Amino acid sequence: MTRCVFRRPMKGRPTGRPRLYAAAFGLAFLCVSAQAAQEPPAIDRPPTRADILRGEYGRYRANNDLLSYHLEVRVDPQNKSIAGRNTIRFRMLRDDTRIQIDLYADLNVDKILFGTTLLKYEREINAVFIDFPSTLKGGREYAIDFHYSGNPKERGRFGGMAFRTDPQGNPWINTACQGEGSSVWWPSKDQWRDEPEEMRISVAIPDDLVDVSNGRFDGKTPLGDGYTRWDWHVQYPINSYDVSLNIGKYVHFDDRYEDMTLDFYVLPGSLEGAKRQFAQARGMLAAFEHYFGEYPFKKDGYKLVHVPYSGMEHQSAVTYGNRFANGYLERDWTGVGISPKFDFIIIHESGHEWFGNAVSAADVSDMWIHEGWTTYLEDLYVEYTFGKEDALKYINAYKSKVRNQQPIITQRGIHRPPPQDMYFKGALFLHTLRNIVNDDDKWFTLLREVYQRFKYHNILTEDLVQFFNARLGQDLTPVFDQYLRRAALPTLELVFNEPERTVAYRWKTDERGFAMPIDVTAAGKSWRLLPTTDWAVMANSAAPDAFEVATDRFYVNVVKR
Ligand SMILES: [Zn+2]
């Protein structure tokens, strides 16, 4: 299902609020050239053909709309191999004879069947262009069986598909492919815009092992040859990188949260630690349901699955490798004493169920919708669980991780994950937005509305900007653009004239239309200033040092002269 709320540019003019959209496009374009001048070489390099094949929503992706996947594989721990097929059902959106599916070049395409017809295909790097003998008709539904096999290579930060062993020497095989893409281990439409409405995952593994995948467990069937097939059913749209196999000597325990199931899978040696640590899942659910509404994948249930890497937001089967201890890998992640109060991976990765998995970005360039929001969700968890003071401390501690060297939103249509600022600056931007709104009831209502409006959709930043502008009745586009599409923070310039007893003030930003309120305190009085990028002057008797700006609630630079 293509779930873009906001389709462009290939679909022609967007509807509604054309002025805002036009502004967003112009800025996105400007931003690319500004980026080229400022950025370090890694991001500055031109895209490769592989980046474009993977990132672009080109003709052979845009001509169809995914309906479902059924991935049936056999995983052989001895040979470190995978073999099987993906049955891909899709609806054609226009007449065409070719579609693009992705599979890394180091895996074999065994055959691609359309009914009983063997299809021709062409491979280019990690893309597979599949040709049909006659025109597929727009509006009609079709299915192909894509058979493949091979030995996936371990790659990327989380392993891609990794054949490892547990401390007892048993097979422990996990997939985690967010950056590298689902096509490192299975044939799929490896992009962010289109998701199937549902998926079945069937995994045959040696009889003594357990497979935990996404969705609802649908039973296991001994195959009589030493292998057992484990069947899972995902009853919601799912990002392809979220699809996961976790194969090992898992033990299982469970719990309930209100009317939903919680299932936990860990290696036997970690059972005690897990029973203690995973109790935090309940508090996580309570906090996020409080702010946003019900857990988004209730029919599939919520799972935590023990893995050898730190963790990943695999939908309804969140993977966990945080050593059954609070903080992040036993560190005080933000360094101010708040992080040791909770398990970072349980809170962060599960937060993605709301932002990342339910509300998803339609292009990797907008990945702050996953990471900036979920980092902000950590702070909401802290506020709900430990109070507002801790939350303020926690979010402000993230400033030390921000670089402000590249825009958070990168060039669209190229597979290139945005810089790390998408996490921390993204969260600090949302915190700033809360203080622009300056009314907690209104802010929390707005958060819930954003989530409810966009859940199960793949959106772009423009959708969020339009939504906030409409709900708040003001044009915050330049504010979003300065924080997300520009590298530099807004700087509040204050020029004191002590003989005249005045202070002049303005925002120094790249966005000419930038106007953002900010709270100041001087001479025992607090008030809200409304600076723009033009100078304004007001009476002031306070010395520069005694003129305070609420930088704990607004993430900005302040320069006093
Ligand atoms: Zn994350």
CA–centroid distance, residue 456 to ligand 1 (Å): 18
- Residues 224-267: pLDDT tens digits? 999 999 999 999 999 999 999 999 999 999 999 999 999 999 99
pLDDT of residue 27: 31
CB atoms within 10 A of CB 404: 16
69 found inside a domain: yes
Question: For 410-449, what is each residue's pLDDT tens digit?
Answer: 999 999 999 999 999 999 999 999 999 999 999 999 999 9
283 and 415 assigned to the same domain: no
User: Residue 10: pLDDT band by 50, 70, 90 thresholds?
Assistant: very low
- Name every residue whose Cβ is closer than 8 Å to that of residue 488 and which is 6 or more positions away in sequence: 404, 482, 509, 510
**344-362 average pLDDT score:** 98
Distance CA 217, CA 242 (A): 16
**Quick one: average pLDDT of 386-397?**
98
User: 186 versus 24: which is more confidently predicted?
Assistant: 186
* 337/411 same-domain check: no
Are residues 318 and 353 in contact, defined by beta-carbon separation less than 8 angstroms?
Answer: yes
- How many angstroms is it from 381 CA to the middle of ligand 1? 15
% of the chain with per-residue pLDDT over 90: 91
Per-residue confidence (pLDDT) for residue 44, from 0 to 100: 67
> pLDDT grade, residue 15 (50/70/90)?
very low
Burial of 494 (0-12, 13-18, 19+ CB in 10 A): buried
Quick one: 462 and 520 in the same domain?
Answer: no
Per-residue model confidence (pLDDT) at position 41: 41
Answer yes or no: is pLDDT of 4 > 60: no
336, burial (CB in 10 Å: exposed 0-12, middle 13-18, buried 19+): middle
Return the axis-axis angle of helices 368-386 and 461-472, rounded to nearest 10°.
50
Q: Tokens in use for 169?
A: 């020497």
Do 85 and 200 lie in one domain? The reply is yes
- Is the same domain home to 60 and 199? yes
For residue 504, the CA-to-ligand 1 centroid distance in Å is: 41
239 Cα to the center of ligand 1, angstroms: 14
| 447 domain-assigned | yes
Average pLDDT over residues 325-349: 97
Domain-located, residue 381: no
H helix or E strand, kind and range, residue 525: strand 525-529
Rounded CA-CA distance 263/109 in Å is 35
pLDDT for 61 beyond 60 = yes
Does residue 528 contact residue 515 with C-beta atoms inside 8 Å? no
CA 371 – ligand 1 centroid, Å: 5
197 in any annotated domain: yes
Q: What are phi and psi of 336, to 5 degrees?
A: -125, 20
Pairing of strands 198-206, 64-76: parallel
Question: Does some domain include residue 270?
Answer: yes
Between 114 and 35, the higher pLDDT residue: 114
What's the average model confidence in pLDDT over 503-521? Answer: 98
Q: Where are the alpha helices (DSSP H) in 293-416?
A: 344-351, 368-386, 388-397
- Based on the fold, state whether residues 417 and 283 are members of the same structural domain: no
Q: Quote the ligand 1 centre to 541 CA distance (angstroms).
A: 46
- pLDDT of 194 over the 70 cut: yes
Residues 366-392 have a mean pLDDT of: 98
User: Is the same domain home to 60 and 209?
Assistant: yes
Q: How much distance in Å is there from the Cα of 400 to the middle of ligand 1?
A: 18
Instruction: Provide mean pLDDT across the span 351-379.
Output: 98
102 with 192, same domain: the answer is: yes
Q: Is residue 462 part of a domain?
A: yes
* Last-in-domain residue among 248, 268, 285: 248
How far is Cα 354 from Cα 358, in angstroms, rounded to an integer?
5
The last residue of one of the domains, among 224, 248, 272, is 248
Contact 291, 253 (CB under 8 A): no
Torsion sign (Cα): 468, 533, 490, 525:
negative
Q: Which pLDDT tens digit goes with each residue over 71-82?
A: 999 999 999 999
Q: What is the CATH number of the domain that holds 514?
A: 2.60.40.1910
CA distance 181 to 191: 8
Q: Do 314 and 212 have their domain in common? A: no
pLDDT for residue 45 = 82
Question: CB–CB of 65/237 below 8 Å?
Answer: no
Residues 457 and 446: their CA atoms lie apart, in Å, by 17
**Distance from the alpha carbon of residue 349 to the mean position of ligand 1, in angstroms:** 6
Query: What is the Cα–Cα distance from 199 to 261, expressed in whole angstroms?
Result: 20
Is the model's pLDDT at 39 over the cut of 80? Answer: no
Shared domain check, 221 and 78: yes
Average pLDDT rounded to a whole number, residues 37-57: 76
pTM recorded for the entire structure: 0.92
Residue 29: pLDDT above 50? no
Work out the pLDDT band at 25, boundaries 50, 70, 90: very low
By the 8 A CB rule, do 361 and 459 touch? yes
pLDDT of 21: 30
Write down the H helix ranges in 278-387: 280-292, 344-351, 368-386
Q: Which amino acid is at 119?
A: L
Query: Cα(313)–Cα(279) distance, rounded to whole angstroms?
Result: 18
Tell me: do 65 and 195 sit in the same domain: yes
pLDDT of the residue at 1: 60
Angle made by CA atoms 84, 85, 90, in degrees to the nearest 5 = 170
Q: What is the structure's pLDDT at 40?
A: 43
The domain boundary residue, chosen from 248, 269, 295: 248
What spacing in Å lies between the alpha carbon of 203 and ligand 1's midpoint? 27
Residue 16 has pLDDT above 70, yes or no: no
Q: How far is the CA of 146 from the centre of ligand 1 (A)?
A: 31
d(CA 168, CA 166): 5
**430 in a structural domain:** no
Give the DSSP letter of residue 46: P
Mean pLDDT for the chain overall: 92
Q: Say if residue 215's pLDDT is above 90.
A: yes
d(C-alpha 91, C-alpha 200), whole Å: 18
pLDDT value at residue 383: 98
Query: How many residues are there in the chain?
Result: 561
pLDDT of amino acid 347:
98
Q: Determine the Cα–Cα distance for residues 521 and 531; give it in Å rounded to an integer.
A: 15
Does 331 reside within a domain? yes
Q: What is the pLDDT of residue 523?
A: 87
Count the domains in the chain. Answer: 4
> Which of 196, 200, 203, 197 has the alpha carbon at shortest distance from 216?
200
Cα 313 to ligand 1 centroid, rounded to whole Å: 7
Predicted local distance difference test score (pLDDT) of residue 144? 98
24-33, 416-425, 446-455, 507-516: the lowest-pLDDT one:
24-33
Q: For residue 177, what is the domain's CATH number?
A: 2.60.40.1730
403 and 415, same domain (yes or no):
yes
Q: What is the pLDDT of residue 206?
A: 98
CATH assignment of the domain containing 264: 1.10.390.10
Distance 370 CA to ligand 1 centre (A): 7
* Count of other CB atoms within 10 angstroms of residue 83: 18
The whole domain housing 302 covers 250-353
Mean pLDDT of 274-290: 98
Output the CA–CA distances (angstroms, integers) from residue 113 to 50, 106, 128, 186, 482, in the order listed. 26, 21, 14, 16, 49
